[in-house]
Copies of this chain bind each other. A is one copy, B any other.
Amino acid sequence: MAGGVGSGLECQKIMDGKEISGVKVTPVHSCCLKAMATQPELGSKCHSTVVSGWFSEQVSYSGHGTRKVYYNNPMWPGEAHSMKVENVLFEGKSEYQEILVFESATYGKVLVLDNIVQLTDKDEFAYQEMIVHLPLCSLPSPKRVLVVGGGDGGVLREIARHKSVEVIDICEIDKMVIDVSKKYFPELAVGFEDPRVQLHVGDATEFLRNAGEGIYNAVIVDSSDPVGPAQELVEKPFFVMIARALRPGGVLCNMAESLWLHTHLIEDMMTICRETFKGSVRYAWASVPTYPSGAIGFLLCTTEGPPVDFLNPVNPIEKLELAVNYGRDLMFYNSEMHSAAFALPSFLKREVSALRDL
């Protein structure tokens, strides 16, 4: 067990320059692929992922692109989390992805994109609160924030707790996600109602290319997994554009997958961000039961400028006027959870070399 999280259990390259259905496939890590099912379409009353009344991430389907290849859980091979389905509320296919909403037996309503659970009523707050307050409580008085992705509105809802914020730009590529959230997840979509929010439907790289230089105190990347439309969001040009859009001492907080399943992806992202951002680069994580491995990570980076101490928030939420009860109570985040999120297991520090010189 010394070499990794379990001998030989680490993420493997599952394709090796072979041709699949006449399409040349370059080597890709198994955890950087989105699953595609062999049977693309389904009845209207139920969903292909719902078998005997249970939804499962075991088999996935992406309608985007021309290749149709079946992989068994490429982002988390060999395991699946299933939820009992009470009722399928919505299924549709946008320009970018398949969207499914169902009422589960014990996790409330569930939003699924391309067969991957994005959030559930029961535990969404852990992710939304952490991805927002980790960066914003680390800054003395953030004024302008950009959200990339986040079409469900939950991140906006949390940003709105910060009275110092004057403008919240959000760039979401898929309007259908916003519409679905407004209909089925009003407790998240309420974030769109804040008058400080400016919605931009479109591609984030395009948006950032046209954005002003040094205008944001914080950028929050609340993307889906780094495949399909979100693939370029973990590559260097994207981070360079974010660094350009941030003020000196501005902060990026980027969704950064699971410390148990995606160590090489964390390594890659940290290495790129170390080259790109000249301030600190840190990894934090939180417990979210319905994400694979029950944990999700966040990459925090700052540009050159006033130093940012991520571990000891300068802007504790308990002291922010109105923040704690803005709309609804905070359910997960508090200043203790903030600092604790940066404590990392020993195996992670060993496996991710970019973490060693902290």
Binding site for B on A (CB under 8 A): 1-2, 5-7, 9, 54, 56, 58, 72, 76-84, 104-108, 120-123, 125-126, 187, 259-261, 285, 287-289, 291-295, 328-334, 336-337, 339-347, 350
Contacts and interface: CB of A to CB of B under 8 A. Distances in A.
Counting chain B CB atoms within 10 Å of each CB, which of A82, A84, A120, A347 scores highest?
Answer: A82
A267 to B, nearest CB: 17
Contact of A78 (B83, B288, B334, B344): B83
Contacts of A107: 6, 9, 78-79
Nearest to A58: B82
Given A58-B82, A77-B105, A79-B81, A122 B6 contact: yes
A332 B343 CA distance: 10
B1 A121 contact: yes
A83 B125 CA distance: 27
Nearest to A82: B80
B83 A79 contact: yes
A341 B344 CA distance: 11
Contact of A337 (B76, B81, B83, B345): B345
Contacts of A187: 1
A121 B83 CA distance: 25
A343 B340 CA distance: 6
Given A80-B82, A83-B79, A289-B293, A2 B343 contact: no
Contact of A108 (B9, B56, B329): B9
A106 B76 CA distance: 9
Given A82-B56, A345-B331, A346-B331, A1 B125 contact: yes
A323 to B, nearest CB: 12
A106 B347 contact: no
B336 A343 contact: yes
A93 to B, nearest CB: 26
Counting chain B CB atoms within 10 Å of each CB, which of A122, A125, A291, A333 scores highest?
Answer: A122
Nearest to A333: B346
A336 B344 contact: yes
B78 A126 contact: no
Given A6-B108, A6-B121, A289-B292, 11 more contacts: A6-B120, A7-B121, A9-B122, A56-B82, A58-B82, A78-B104, A78-B106, A80-B82, A81-B82, A294-B294, A337-B345
A347 B125 CA distance: 10
A341 B340 CA distance: 7
A341 B339 CA distance: 11
Contacts of A56: 82
Nearest to A345: B332
A177 to B, nearest CB: 21
Nearest to A77: B106
